[in-house]
Amino acid sequence: MKKSWLLSLMMSFALLGGAVLPTGASVSAASDTTPVYYDENSAVTEDPAGEDTSVDEPEFTADEADLLDYIDQLEAAAVYEERAFNSFKGGMTITSANRKSIFLKLNNTAIPNYTKYVSKLKLIKPKNAELQKIHAKLVKGSYTQLEAYQLFKQSVSKTKVNSTQLKQGNDKLAAGAKLIEQSNQEFIKYANKLGFDL
């Protein structure tokens, strides 16, 4: 059975460089259209013709189950990442005129939420060694981006924008994005190896 339903879930994660993970993934069983009858004594019974209408849950290997658990944990953390990114819809161009509003967005919304995101990522402990390496790269890239946001905040904290800190922040942001993209590509290869199609 092809497992493309899982990797379609991860497609936006890979394409957006870890910016937003979709929520509400569900596992659908086989496309059996036989009616299922429920009674108060059991979850699934036979239909009136006497055929068994129960649907078997797909069985996953330990690595597949670890991958699914990992994705669930990423989705839970992604809520905070999304809040941080949503605070800068439309981009973040820093000028002397908007310096104060950028500082407030960074200080009150973006950095606290992205900090929670990185903290939640650090709590995720995949069991599979290969997935652990991929995840470690995601954590490092995300932490590097958090450092970039902190540099941006410092660059606009005074009345004059500090262009040196702004450049350092841009460099860190690019370095973090590169690590996240590498993590995404390695994740895709790993998932494909387990039989999940992208």
Greater model confidence, 18 or 162: 162
Mean pLDDT of 167-180: 97
Residues 154-171: tens digit of each pLDDT: 999 999 999 999 999 999
CA distances (Å), origin 123, targets 80, 170, 192: 14, 27, 25
What are phi and psi for residue 45, nearest 5 degrees? -125, 180
Please give the pLDDT value at position 185: 96
Whether the pLDDT of residue 6 is over 80: the answer is no
Taking Cα atoms as reference points, which of 26, 30, 72, 24 lies closest to residue 54? 30
Give me the chain's average pLDDT, please: 78
pLDDT more than 70, % of the chain: 70
What is the pLDDT, as a whole number, of residue 28? 30
Query: What pLDDT does 152 receive?
Result: 95
Check whether 134 has a pLDDT greater than 80.
yes
Interior/surface letters 137-151, b for 16+ CB within 10 angstroms, e for the rest? bbbbbbbbbbbbbbb
| Between residues 92 and 115, the one the model is more confident about | 115
Question: Which tokens is 101 given?
Answer: 């509003």
d(CA 75, CA 69): 10
The highest-confidence range among 1-10, 94-103, 165-174, by mean pLDDT, is: 165-174
Q: Mean pLDDT over residues 94-115, rounded?
A: 93
pLDDT at 104 over 90: yes
pTM summary value: 0.71
Buried b (16+ CB within 10 A) or exposed e, 167-176: ebbeebbebb
